[in-house]
Amino acid sequence: MNQRQPCVWLAGATGLVGRTLLTQLLGNPVQVEVLLRRSITDLPAGQGLQLHLVDFSKADLGTTALSPPQAVYICLGSTIAAAGSQAAFRAVDLDAVLNVARAAQVAGARRCAVVSALGADATSKVFYNRVKGEMEEAMAALRFERLVIARPSLLAGERARLGQAKRSGEAWALRLTEPFRALIPAKWRPVQAEVVARALILAIDQDGPALQVLESNHLQTLGAP
């Protein structure tokens, strides 16, 4: 492995956006260190790929084996149904995200891209949106040299192929909106995971403000094939 290649961390590579992001990153001259909660055997292969089992509940991720990154991509996320409770959901979508970001920053990362959600708002009465908003505020307080926050709308992609649990509500919404896709405002229109991933890679390397929030319509424009 060419150690002179820049190193990036990726957390959430088993998810819809994270898996696509990993595939795209491996096409670039970069060393990708994937942070995993458990062993995964079907990740894309690449010469610059290293896998690490970490403990997302710990501030130092429970390991010192990670290389210093220039940037970190965080695609961690769950649903309340999958997590099992609001507390478990918060542990993933807020606490784990912050632990990865802080550990990467301590290790040298100056740039960070994180996947949030459309409607994120720390003052929202909706628990999901409120946690996402709290996560965004906490991430902004870390003061990365550049922080890109993606707020995709409904994600489109092949979850079954990734061995992910079926999200019946998501599948139903995608089927319902497909005939009217062209009529739906871009901000609310379903967005392909590969488009979100492409937008993150482009945005994190661009010059820009210390904090940039990419709403779903901006993701679709920036990440268009």
The string of pLDDT tens digits covering residues 54-67 is: 999 999 999 888 99
- Tell me the mean pLDDT in the region 123-132: 97
What's the pLDDT band for 172 if we cut at 50, 70, 90? very low
pLDDT, mean over the chain = 88
- The whole-number average pLDDT for the span 34-53 is 89
Confidence tier at 42 by pLDDT (50, 70, 90): confident
Helix axes 97-107, 127-141, angle to 10 degrees: 10
- CA 202-182-187 angle, to 5 degrees, is 45
Distances 1 to 5, 7, 49, 117 between C-alpha atoms, Å: 9, 12, 9, 35
Comparing CA positions, the residue from 115, 109, 111, 161 lying closest to residue 135 is 115
Domain residue spans of the chain: 7-222
Residue 225's pLDDT is what? Answer: 85
* Residue-level pLDDT at 3: 52
Residues of the chain above pLDDT 70, percent: 84
pTM of the prediction?
A: 0.88
Q: What is 7-222's CATH number?
A: 3.40.50.720
Q: Which of 117, 25, 40 has the alpha carbon at shortest distance from 71?
A: 25
Q: In the prediction, which pLDDT does 46 show? A: 79
pLDDT at 1: 40
